[in-house]
Structure 1
Amino acid sequence: MIDSDTKQNSLYGVIIKVENIDVCRSFYRDVLELGAPIIDSNFWVEFKIQDNVSLVLEQAAEGEKLPPGRDRVSWLYRIHELDEMLAKLKEHGHQPHAEDERLGYKVYQFLDPEGNPFYLYSAKEDKK
């Protein structure tokens, strides 16, 4: 988890606590297409998003009360083929909970299987 070659402070990643790590692992790996985790255990699943940034799923402790989904951290995912990803999410039963325009980009808010919010927007230069 710690890169000992890094000499300066930097963002390593975002941790999302989940109640069912197996369901969430499948969603992030297969539906959002984050690929195979670089660390995959029964309590910690880490996806490499960029060279030095990870998205981590952490299994909540038994009996741990998690805040409602919309009160949790949300993250923004830049997608190269946004229309394809929107169609894939709809095929898996996920509809956008909100659509907005920010800085000239069309942004879609979704919730993962446990209600954790995330946003999608197009990586292409042609803003919607």
Structure 2
Amino acid sequence: MSNAKVLPLLESDGQGVVPCCPPLTERPMTAEEAETAARMFKALGDPVRLRLFSAVASHEGGEACVCDISDVGVSQPTVSHHLKKLKEAGLLTSERRGTWVYYRVESSVLAAMGQLLTLPAVA
């Protein structure tokens, strides 16, 4: 495991949340920006994680109880492992309520992902 500083996908600028990285077509990424984006893409590169991320993102109200999304064909401990990896990549947040954990994809995370992959406007 690397000891490099891990940047979040989003950072606060005091007035809100801004993406860590510019669109890929804007300029070459710095090493830190590439590390951050790679962490996100690596987390989403696993089919089970992508399904879990999609289940949370598309769930009514934008959040889902782990009990509602754990039917992805792997054991509960494996689901927990994958959700932890998505949290570590900055893609999910969680909150414990009683015995259940609820996961949320902040809309700003989706916006940052979209901005990273945005093509420049054609004049």
TM-score, with length taken from structure 1: 0.27
The structure with more helix, counted as a fraction of residues: 2
